[in-house]
Structure 1
């Protein structure tokens, strides 16, 4: 399920979904003259490892398209892992924005952008204290939310999340973005996923 956390983490950098009916979580830091995110569209994804990584996304779908904010988001995801996933799970995100005919790398500011997260396991432990139940919908489907993650296949059937009103930092504006997420443990690359999307803000 680390691949699930990686994928949702990429998306939630821009739009922090919470399970439907839950309260907001202030994941984004306020900036001067923030912009209100209203829509995400053109979402696409692919594995970028040529079939060599032990962790791969089998399927991923988001609905509706475009994603309206605020509003409900349905996520359907299946991943497989040929190895046990243990700490430290390093995640490197590269975020680029299209400007004219060029793709410009967005720097890491306040943990948003092209950031490196040294251990996903620690991040999960801080977000969900060990010993507490996993949040919905993981709990209902018996999916783990802490390391280690055993090898095998995991699937999240169509599950609904609520996207609250989101204020983006002023430097993150309308446009086309592409995101690459690479997960590794030591020298071993475990997973590579690329995503593309367009942001629309007011």
Structure 2
């Protein structure tokens, strides 16, 4: 997964909860003071099948410029057969801490989807209202059956920007 696919998921910070048969997305942390607010979040198919594609539509607002350094902490756990396993960080994928995602995205080419939808690929991420329509992501869950939990926390200059909890069940 490129950092831009990760950013697409991170952008899905919700005011409430989105829940389907196999996927739940919830805001976490200090939602009242979050720097990113989402007004619309829709996904299909529902239920999501794993492995498989998910299509996302989201409208969100960045309340103030998000400037470097932007730290991202990602924790991924899978619960299966009564055991909980934290997925390690390997080559920037898994349970990772990114000291400054601005440095990371500066070295990657902006995907066409972002360019075509006027989504910024470099820091700062400017204050404003944005829409992502028909964003397609591939979710590679397949071999390991169980419950997956992904927690993503984002800070800009050590100030809380937003937090996201994603839970998925792979039966």
Normalised to the residue count of structure 2, the TM-score between the two structures is 0.74
Seen in structure 2, the aligned counterparts of structure 1 residues 144 and 52 have a Cα distance that, compared at 3 Å, is same
SS in 2 for 1:6: helix
Consecutive unaligned residues in structure 1, runs of 5 or more = 12-40, 129-133
Indicate the residue corresponding to 1:192 in structure 2.
163
| Number of residues of Structure 1 aligned to a counterpart in Structure 2 | 160
Q: Alignment partner for residue 71 of structure 2, among 72, 83, 90? A: 90
Q: Does 1:57 align with 2:58?
A: no
Seen in structure 2, the aligned counterparts of structure 1 residues 102 and 48 have a Cα distance that, compared at 3 Å, is farther
Distance, in Å, in 1 between the alignment partners of 2:73 and 2:160 is: 11
Indicate the residue corresponding to 2:15 in structure 1.
none
Distance, in Å, in 2 between the alignment partners of 1:82 and 1:10 is: 13
RMSD across aligned positions (CA): 3.3
User: Based on CA coordinates, which of the two structures has the bigger radius of gyration?
Assistant: 1
Normalised to the residue count of structure 1, the TM-score between the two structures is 0.64
Consecutive unaligned residues in structure 2, runs of 5 or more = 13-20
Indicate the residue corresponding to 2:17 in structure 1.
none
Deviations 1:47-106 (A, max 9, x none): 113322122333322211344467653211122121101111110011122245675533
Structure scoring higher RCO (CA < 8 A, sep ≥ 6) equals: 1
Indicate the residue corresponding to 1:181 in structure 2.
152
Q: Does 1:77 align with 2:77?
A: no
Distance, in Å, in 1 between the alignment partners of 2:39 and 2:101 is: 21
Q: Alignment partner for residue 140 of structure 1, among 116, 121, 129? A: 116
Indicate the residue corresponding to 1:127 in structure 2.
108
How far residue 7 of structure 1 moved from its aligned partner, in angstroms, is 4.4
